[in-house]
Homo-oligomer: A and B are copies of this chain.
Amino acid sequence: MSLVVIGSIAFDSVRTPFGTRERMLGGSAVHFALAASFFTDVRVVGPVGDDFGDAEYQVLRERGVETSDVERVEGGRTFFWAGEYGYDLNTRETLDTQLGVFGEFDPKLSDETRAADMLFLGNIQPDLQREVRRQCDGARLVGLDSMNLWIETARESLLAAAGEVDLLFLNDSEVRELMEEPNLVRAARRVMELGPRAVVAKQGEYGASLYTADRFFSLPAYPLETVRDPTGAGDCFAGGFMGYLASRDEGAADDDTELRRAMT
């Protein structure tokens, strides 16, 4: 099935206890698409500036990612994020965010994108997520990711966006924060009352938990000895999750066992 992702396409400058890298290719849509490409065909939607060059396109195209809906804005600058991670890589601080071409992004989707079977709304402003959701009204399965920034600055929009999707991906602390409920089990249940069939609570190095109507599944993360940079890990996880579902039968997302496999 066809899978479309909209989200940030970015340059990231990242500082960790192990070193510093400037302007790496990043962004939620890029991480998601690269991971999903191991399972299915993916189309990326999002704006870039004219600092986004052949080398960057090439990373996506080498994995077979369809980039014709990447909108290149002449004279514009690609979204930029700079951040620094703490000692244990579980905490990070944003040092700089420059929206660039994302500041005025008005998604003009191609017919192929509008006809997508599956859609992933990566972490961007929730009204933008809703607009894309509206245009892709034929999508049978829609996932959404967000972050604390939008909970704190656009909570009502995010709640409305969450109500229009099937799968919600959030860090566990964000599930609690969104529903203003400190207990994760209860918070996830309240999310499902809004509309989503399932909540995937990401827990960083601890793994992830899956909540469906009356069931619970938890999966520890594979223990890694060498972690250099966790940027985009959640987007890659969602990409593998949605990509797996796209590679399966049409009703896969209605089957708890398939959701558990997707998570694994």
A interface residue numbers (CB < 8 A to B)? 17, 87-89, 173, 176, 182-186, 203, 205-207, 209, 216, 218-220, 223-227
Contacts and interface: CB of A to CB of B under 8 A. Distances in A.
23 contacts: A17-B182, A87-B182, A88-B173, A88-B176, A89-B182, A183-B224, A183-B226, A183-B227, A184-B205, A184-B223, A185-B223, A185-B224, A185-B225, A203-B206, A206-B206, A206-B207, A207-B218, A207-B220, A209-B220, A209-B223, A216-B223, A218-B220, A220-B220
Nearest to A186: B225
Residue from A209, A220, A225 with most neighbouring chain B CB atoms (10 Å): A220
Contacts of A89: 182
A52 to B, nearest CB: 34
The number of times this chain is found in the oligomer is: 2
Given A17-B182, A185-B223, 8 more contacts: A88-B173, A184-B205, A184-B223, A185-B225, A207-B218, A209-B220, A209-B223, A218-B223
Nearest to A88: B182
Contacts of A218: 207, 220, 223
Nearest to A176: B88
Q: Which 6 A-B pairs have the closest CB atoms?
A: A218-B220, A206-B206, A88-B182, A185-B225, A185-B223, A87-B182
A251 to B, nearest CB: 26
A240 B225 CA distance: 29
A79 B24 CA distance: 55
A191 B62 CA distance: 43
A260 to B, nearest CB: 13
A7 B90 CA distance: 32
A89 B181 CA distance: 12
Nearest to A217: B220
Contacts of A205: 184
Contacts of A225: 183, 185-186
A82 to B, nearest CB: 21
A151 to B, nearest CB: 15
Nearest to A17: B182
A203 B209 CA distance: 15
A87 B209 CA distance: 20
Contacts of A203: 206
A203 B185 CA distance: 17
A216 B225 CA distance: 12
